[in-house]
Amino acid sequence: MLPKTLSARTSAPRLVVAGVLTAAALGGIAIQASAQTSPVARPPALASGAWLVDAARNGDTRAAEVFIAHGADVDQGKPGDGTPLIVAARNGDMTMARFLVEQGAAVDRSLDGDGNPLINAAASGHLEMAKYLISSGANVNAVVPNDETPLINAAREGHLDLVQELVEAGADVNLAVPVTLRSGATEFRSPLSQARLNRHANVAAYLIARGAHI
């Protein structure tokens, strides 16, 4: 499940991002001026990638472009938020997602506790995003420990259109994965079990029609 990631939607003020852009510009001037005498390559605050995650959360592609130009790792994640692409997928931000993929973001990059881009798109109900990620090479059967699979998340939330899209793209309707509970015990979850548990009868009926039995 993704209770933590689905609730982590607070946005950094745009004023902060604007301030960082200014700092980036000034840092770039300083770097250029000292390039002939110093091996310093980039401002460390930008190289960390944390600001890129904030830019993705704000939907600010201009800021993201500047951060990447100054060495921010397009795949570096921030616990509680995920990678920049995970954030874009969770928010259904197609413009940011396309930009990040064009910049080399890995469509299957995961972060413990934050899932991966397709899992977040599926859980959040963003059909267009899921289609884009799949067309970009995302693995519909990817398993992230304790965040399960895209199909399990879509079934749990009752997103029938997403369940259908994932199954048509090759998602295994009988793929059950172990999840560690707070008690320390382990239980197996499948798309059908989660649809039934959350009383999504239409999703359960569709999965059964497609061969689900666990």
32 pLDDT band, cuts 50/70/90, is very low
What's the per-residue H, E or C state across 99-153? HHHHCCCCCCCCECCCECHHHHHHHHCCHHHHHHHHHCCCCCCCCECCCECHHHH
Residue whose pair of structure tokens reads 């989660």 in the numeric block: 194
Tokens of 120: 């977040």
Average pLDDT for residues 42-55, to the nearest whole number?
69
With 90 as the cut, is the pLDDT of residue 212 above it?
yes
For 155-183, the pLDDT digits (tens) are 999 999 999 999 999 999 999 999 999 99
The pLDDT of residue 184 is 92
Instruction: Compute the distance between CA of residue 15 and CA of residue 145 in angstroms, rounded to an integer.
Output: 36
Domains of the chain as residue ranges with CATH: 1-141 (1.25.40.20), 148-214 (1.25.40.20)
With 70 as the cut, is the pLDDT of residue 16 above it?
no
The pLDDT of residue 50 is 85
